[in-house]
Chains A and B, each alone.
Chain A
Amino acid sequence: MRRGLAVAAAVALLGGRASAQARIMSDAAAREVTLLADSASKAGAPVSALRAKAGEGLLKGADDARIVAAVRSLLGELLASRQALGPQSGDADVIAAASALHAGATTADLRRLVRAMGRDRGRSLAVPFTVFADLLTRAVPREAAVSQLARLLEQHAREADFSVMRSAIEMDIARGVSPGTSLERRASAMLPP
């Protein structure tokens, strides 16, 4: 029965078809992924993110051990995000927050951004968390990034504002401006006088 489930999971992970590059996961690995997905489901974490991670690993030719490790690591980040954001948070927020954790953020950073929402609480934080992850990936100092993002949230910045700032910072970095300097300059330009 479990073997059947594992095979079904592997097929599901591949979306019902094998591509030229993707391969079939072993029964044992598929079983582990299924167990991790079950854990995620019970804890209210988005299972789709785990399925996507496994599918990405298969497409990219990773071995089973690496795929299982990546899925397990992501599950930990999703659970930590869910706990930091609270049970009412949406899946998109949890997934984006998990990406920020993966990039070096702390759960305290996540909670700080949630608090910064103030009266806007209940709005999605998926876009700010994504920008946070991108900033960390681009070597923006963590404390500076979370501080500036919290300021923007306190000023009720909109999702489009974060998106434009992200593009502007990417452009600056491509020109050789230091990530920290760019963040400070762009965030300051966005804040009301």
Chain B
Amino acid sequence: MHDDEDDAMTPETIRAAQALRADVLPTEAWSEAVVQRAMSARRARGWFRVGAGMLAAAGVAFAAGLLVGGRDTPRAATAVAARDSGNVPVQTVAWSEAGADSGIARFVAVAPDAQSVEVVGDFNLWARGRTPLARMADGRTWSVQLPLGVGRHTYAFVIDGQLVRDRNAPASADDDFGVPSSVLLVQGRR
């Protein structure tokens, strides 16, 4: 994965976008199956051999599972997304792929009516204008990828100037300002 692929839709990005905007989102059973597959992929000595693709799929499955919320109708998923993003009709997701001492984080938003989408977080000192998402060819999906160090990162989306927490990620415990953030876990290949 290279930085110069920012403008390209990677297979993982396409999967995430498809999962987020599908007429019928992946079912809870499918999400569980992906996670179970990841958890059962044990190495010879008893531990896992979890590939980056599988982890990305698990992340997307998890996000999609949350969006579905146990229901499998598009209406239910849309309602959840609209409520969770502060009445902004968008869906958001972020995940990372492992590197040696860093990872590649991907932030994706399906926001067809938005004029601007960006991500702010500890990695850019929560400064506006530093990490915009690019609108993809479909006109609905916004995406950016960036290298992040291994560990914990807090972030939020800014959509048309409105701070939107990614509800498909754990909320940050250290919300000191009354406006929750999300946590992205970036792992290395260790």
Contacts and interface: CB of A to CB of B under 8 A. Distances in A.
Contact of A99 (B35, B42, B55, B152): B152
A28 B147 CA distance: 35
Contacts of B177: 56-57, 60-62, 66-67, 70
8 contacts: A56-B122, A73-B176, A74-B174, A155-B46, A160-B187, A160-B189, A163-B185, A174-B66
B85 interface: no
Contacts of B50: 158, 160-161, 163-164
B88 interface: no
A64 to B, nearest CB: 12
Contacts of B38: 164
B46 A193 contact: yes
Nearest to B120: A59
A74 B154 CA distance: 14
Interface of A: 13-15, 17, 19-22, 48-49, 51-53, 55-62, 66-67, 69-70, 73-74, 92-93, 95-96, 99, 102-104, 123-124, 126-127, 129-131, 133-134, 136-138, 155-168, 170-171, 174-175, 186, 189-190, 192-193
B108 interface: no
A186 B36 CA distance: 10
**Range for the number of chain B residues in contact with chain A:** 35 or more
Contact of A174 (B65, B151, B171): B65
Contacts of A17: 127-129
A33 B70 CA distance: 45
A53 B42 CA distance: 39
B39 interface: yes
B173 to A, nearest CB: 4
A159 B188 contact: yes
Nearest to A152: B47
